Amino acid sequence: MKALYTWIEEKAQSGMDAATLSERLTMLGMEVEECRHQGGVIPGLEIGEVLTCEDHPNSDHLHVCRVRVQGQETTIVCGAENVRAGIKVVVATVGTRLPGDFVIKKAKIRGVESLGMICSKEELGLEEKSKGIWILSDGTPPGPAGENLLGNEDWTMSLAITSNRSDCLSINGLAREAAAAAGKRFTPALSAVSETPGIAAPAVTIEASELCGRYAARLVRGVRIGPSPEWMVRRLESCGMRSINNIVDVTNYVLLEYGHPLHAFDLAKLEGGQIVVRRAREGERLVTLDGQERLLDPTMLVIADAARPVALAGVMGGANSEVSDGTVDILLESAWFDPVSVRRTSKKTGLSTEASYRFERTADFGACTGALDRAVELILETAGGKPGPLTDAIPAPRTDCVIELDYSFIEERLGFAPPRGDAEKILSNLGFGVTVRENRFVLTVPTWRSDVRLPADIVEEVARHHGYDRMPVRLFPVRVNDELFAASNMTKRVLQDMLASTGLSEALNFNFVLESDLESMLLGPEACVTVSNPMSADQKYLRPTLLPNLVANVRTNIGRGVRDVALFEIGKTFVHGDTGPCERLSLAIILSGKAIAPNWNEPAGRDYDYFDAKGIAEQVMRFMGISGVRWERLTLPVWHPGRSAAIVHEGKTIGRIGELHPARCKALDINQRVVMMEIDGLETLRKRDEDRQVVEPSRFPSLLRDLAFVVPEAVQSGAVMATIAGAARQMESLRLVSVWRGEQIGAGNKSLAFSLEFVCRERTLSDDEIESIVQDVIREVGVRHGARLR
């Protein structure tokens, strides 16, 4: 936003110069990015007359001009397209110092001597961008360029206003902050409108009350359309707005002054002379003031007359009701529109205007009539006319927002408290209604402060204007947050340490996933929780699994020459639940490239494989206190059909592990093996410490037995292990040692070798006891799986 220092100071009466005010506003949160000097008398600027204008002999875009300045003729080379003979211009003579510390010197341009410069408004600091030189009226007298032409000295401030401070998108809002910073209270002058008898109040009907909370309007009859006065044009142009005519300029002027958008309709162009605020009907069209035809739909709010839409509410007016040179009677609108509705319409139509920018950030509900009356006052001053009575339609009256808090709350949040009287004065100067009951504040929030709704917001207001630089330097007490040591957080932190200690690097991806990355895992958008109003196309889908982003990480690394990748990520995933979207904590690892680099013992090194991931998974399970996990065959198409498994615990699949299918690797241009593992719902899996049991090691020696079974190829090792565990008494541990296939055991078979450890905590087991248990195991595995001992 752009604002003039003198305009702000005229209202605030803060006593601060431009530099001080810029600094103070920045400290209050309205960052002044630039404070540019403009106007005022510049020594060396003269009014000149272009006598002749010829093309430069050595250039296709420059002109050689003979200009009469100070009664003498001089030559000036000019590159402006609009320069011509017979016009009055502003000339910077040799030695003149222009804004930006630019000094005019005698120069030879393409072989032609130039003694000065014909200036544009931009070069004089009077507007942000000029299309050419400044051409003065024919009656402008020669002589030095004075304040009557250049205006009084001023400074244009460029401010970065945060989206929650819509009240500061106006001169009045900035003046209120400036006055409060100086210990004063800003009270805007009220405009009194003398209504003309015999003029009817405009007829207004609000059909979409959920999108329009207030609609105020007045008729002004007998206006004269023409140019605006110079002082208004200068202020508008300094703030980045183009002058159009006196009626439109007034609405823009009040927009800047009050921060409240207005719109003027040509009353003669309104069918039935009435206003209907309604939703657009399917298929309706409107040509807006920019000349573009817009297709409307029922999600859009429009201002209509008796027959058709005449404006997009809060965004832009329609060409069919535009104020033109022939306009005599106008209907002036001042309304409050729902911010979400305005933003939706702005996005759908691709129209972003000064009005929509303010309505999207919530306009001041209470400023409708004040801004309207101020506009009527200026119209009467600049265009004449007779105002009619006010129509102020409010479908549902609003109640004031009241916040109560103990003064101790301020000290608790800030670590100190300014004197209570100072806090009371700060809030009062900012427009809050303040009532003090003992040590308790009862505050009525002004209508322009839609961002203040909580006691913490009041603390911020006190802190801002008391001054962050005045806060005492002290060491605040440390308050331990129970959430910091919550089981889920501790689980995540310890797992991070454990996985990093195994040599894995942690990946930190966004919670969003690209549709192209979903396709890499053969997932569609239907598997994702969709964001209803994404900030960008890349943030439309919430990830249902961590693996698509990790696969993308592997592709990125390989594309940049890093072929050995070992990553893990612990983060949130989002899935569709029975009652709506569900959020869960997941763990995933991805391995690709060399697990062991080439060395003297292994010249080719060793690639990562299924068992590397399985070893890490088993380590995670031990840490989380999860036992009895089974590894069952996985048949999903994205996983390798023979080197993948579902991780099953208590009959429920809690994760997946294995290699990415070779066909997927080829499709993704990954020319090496990719091994993955993911576990879902970490927050529900880990056993609490009080649920864990510590078992004292046996004082008696353990006995080992190795068994190798020949089983059909379709039999899974996990099923055999479950059978062994059920049949073997006194068994302490069971491990799958090897899987072997060969001609010796016949086609369609495989050999599974297991290591069994037996132990008794009361005595040493005898060989006969062990042999009896082993025979029971052999018999049970043979019956259940058709196995024979190898």
Show the tokens assigned to 192: 């009194």
Dist. CA 274–CA 16, nearest whole Å:
48
Under-70 pLDDT residues of the chain: 475-490, 686-694
The answer to whether residues 717 and 518 touch, using CB atoms and an 8 Å cutoff, is no
Phi and psi torsions of 654, nearest 5°: -110, -5
Kindly report, residue by residue over 188-244, the tens digit of the pLDDT: 888 989 999 999 999 999 999 999 999 999 999 999 999 999 899 989 988 989 899
Dist. CA 316–CA 346, nearest whole Å:
9
pLDDT of residue 487: 53
User: Which residues partner with 117 through β-bridges?
Assistant: 92
Strands (E) across 593-730 are located at 594-596, 606-607, 630-633, 639-649, 652-660, 674-679, 703-712
pLDDT of residue 729: 85
Phi and psi torsions of 621, nearest 5°: -60, -40
pLDDT of residue 114: 95
Centroid of chain to Cα 468: 27
In the block, tokens 């009466």 appear at: 13
pLDDT of residue 688: 47
Dist. CA 311–CA 466, nearest whole Å:
44
pLDDT of residue 730: 86
DSSP secondary structure letter of residue 95: T
Output the CA angle 238-242-245, nearest 5 degrees: 120
pLDDT of residue 630: 85
Dist. CA 517–CA 525, nearest whole Å:
11
Dist. CA 51–CA 78, nearest whole Å:
13
The answer to whether residues 13 and 179 touch, using CB atoms and an 8 Å cutoff, is yes
Question: H or E element: which one contains 692?
Answer: none
Dist. CA 393–CA 373, nearest whole Å:
15
pLDDT of residue 690: 47
How many CB atoms sit inside 10 A of residue 403's CB?
A: 17
